[in-house]
Structure 1
Amino acid sequence: MAYKDSSAYDNNLFFEQYMKRRHREESPNIIIEKPALLELIGDVNDQVILDLGCGDASLGIEFIKSNCRSYTGIDGSKNMYQKALQNLYGTVGEVFLTSMLDYTYPRNSFDIVTSQLAIHYIEDIHKLFEKVYETLKVDGRFIFSVQHPILTSSVESMTTNGKRTNWLVDHYFYSGKRVEPWIGEQVIKFHRTIEEYFVTLQKSGFVIEGLKEATPVKENFKRIEEYERRMRIPLFLLFSCRKPSH
């Protein structure tokens, strides 16, 4: 069985293994993707923030510590939702158990909408981007990360045991569904080219202000071997967009 959207995280064994991987000291999410995302987001003081696919809301805790006005997370996994509830208890944060496409987006409500490595699970990103556009205030910003299209193009490299020393890029211009082996299960992701992300954002009304491929920062690594390995191929793609005032 291949898991769609966030349903894999409600497999308890998968969830436990994922959380260990996600929060390990040299997780690329922590030392490569997160610094790039936070750099694009910048100052969150007094900002009203929506986090799509918030997971355990660890990003939200950082925003709250940085004095955001409010934080709203949404996630479709019951396990993630429960973990986020625990992490946000007693704060200005709240979390809802719902998918990105099913969430009722209030119009003109948020200063920042963000998403960390979750949008590549969504099939209809044009519909999602339109909803995000409507829920942002004028001059509001949409900053998100996805798995890099070089990786999502072909899942063949994911079947290699141990640490990979090379990567296969294939069928790059064929957008659509990919079934990827991950943590002992099969998960469904949707591959898109960089151009497709860019054009879909533009068609949804956004002005794209920044793009990053999360170049590894040497100082963030404890082992030079790991830094050099991560310099070989991009793992992440990030966009910073704005809803214009027209």
Structure 2
Amino acid sequence: MKQNKYDEAEFFSNYSQMPRSTQGLEAAGEWHELRTMLPELKDKNVLDLGCGFGWHCRYAREQQARSVIGVDLSENMLQRAREMTDDSRIEYRHMAIEDIEFAPEQFDVVISSLALHYVEHVDQVFAQIHACLVEGGTLVYSVEHPIFTARAAQDWHYGPQGEIMHWPVDDYHQEGKRVANFLNQDVVKYHRTLATHLNGLIQAGFVIQQVAESKPSPEMMDQIPGMRDENRRPMFLMIAAVKA
């Protein structure tokens, strides 16, 4: 299923008010780690899957990437990305991640930020990414962590006074569809285990280079209320892999 919540007016309005939407990458809790996993981007051809407002596309060009293509299913996302971009070497295309068809070895780097947990058959996407990467090309992506997606509730367990007690994990090995509440609406996500992520990449022909489980930066823990609780469980999983 190719879900497109971001073209629904209320959902897009709520998303547009999130810190990562208004302030960019520096307001994204995982960015300080994800950035270190990216390869050298200078003179590289880059593909961004689920590009959203185009923050990663513009970052790649700031790092002197040769060209960048950003793909997203949402027209609202792409319209905002184009409004925020003044660079002829960044191209935005309206397309579902599942439908990408690029030339063999067209890209040096593929990036995907918090988009692949919306994709049902991620193994097929891994194969498509592998095909369009040059030999030695890099895939770096982030998704919601399997500990976070295991239960559709995606919330803490609270005590009688509303205090955070712990993060419950259940049905971890029952992979598949989850209907979660995000921005006050039901959103379909797909839970898969850590092993499925890693083995899927290996089976597609990738060599895994680095794995990270997000935690806030010290600055965020000091500046943003409630951020210290994010150290109690990982919210995001990030993987860097190279085409063998």
Is the contact made by 1:173 and 1:193 (CA closer than 8 Å) also made in structure 2?
A: yes
Match of 1:66 among 50, 63, 69: 63
CA deviations on 1:120-139 (whole Å, 9 max, x unpaired) are 00011111000000000010
- Structure-1 residue corresponding to 2:210: 210
CA deviations on 1:141-196 (whole Å, 9 max, x unpaired) are 00000000001000224498999553221100000000001112111000000011
The TM-score, its normalising length taken from structure 2, stands at 0.90
Matched pairs, number: 241
Structure 1 Cα separation of the partners of residues 54 and 157 of structure 2: 31
Q: Does 1:240 align with 2:237?
A: no
Is the contact made by 1:22 and 1:29 (CA closer than 8 Å) also made in structure 2?
A: no
Instruction: List gaps (5 residues or longer) in structure 1.
Output: none
Structure 1 Cα separation of the partners of residues 62 and 24 of structure 2: 22
1:118 shift after superposition: 0.2
Structure 1 Cα separation of the partners of residues 21 and 74 of structure 2: 21
**2:87 alignment partner, SS class:** coil
Structure 2 Cα separation of the partners of residues 33 and 129 of structure 1: 22
1:85 shift after superposition: 1.8
1:32 shift after superposition: 2.4
- Structure-1 residue corresponding to 2:200: 200
Seen in structure 2, the aligned counterparts of structure 1 residues 44 and 165 have a Cα distance that, compared at 3 Å, is farther
1:102 shift after superposition: 1.1
CA deviations on 1:18-41 (whole Å, 9 max, x unpaired) are 121143789998342112111100
Structure with more contact order per residue of length (Cα contacts < 8 Å, sep ≥ 6) = 1
Q: Superposed, which structure 2 residues align to 1:78-227 within 5 Å?
A: 78-158=75-155, 166-223=166-223, 226-227=226-227
**1:94 alignment partner, SS class:** strand
The TM-score, its normalising length taken from structure 1, stands at 0.90
- Structure-2 residue corresponding to 1:41: 38
Structure 2 Cα separation of the partners of residues 211 and 159 of structure 1: 25
Instruction: List gaps (5 residues or longer) in structure 2.
Output: none
Seen in structure 2, the aligned counterparts of structure 1 residues 102 and 31 have a Cα distance that, compared at 3 Å, is closer
RMSD: 2.4
AA at the equivalent of 1:198: L
1:43 shift after superposition: 2.5
Seen in structure 2, the aligned counterparts of structure 1 residues 77 and 31 have a Cα distance that, compared at 3 Å, is closer
1:226 shift after superposition: 3.4
Is the contact made by 2:108 and 2:134 (CA closer than 8 Å) also made in structure 1?
A: yes
Is the contact made by 2:104 and 2:132 (CA closer than 8 Å) also made in structure 1?
A: yes
- Of 12-21 and 69-78, the range deviating more from structure 2: 12-21
Structure 2 Cα separation of the partners of residues 106 and 32 of structure 1: 34
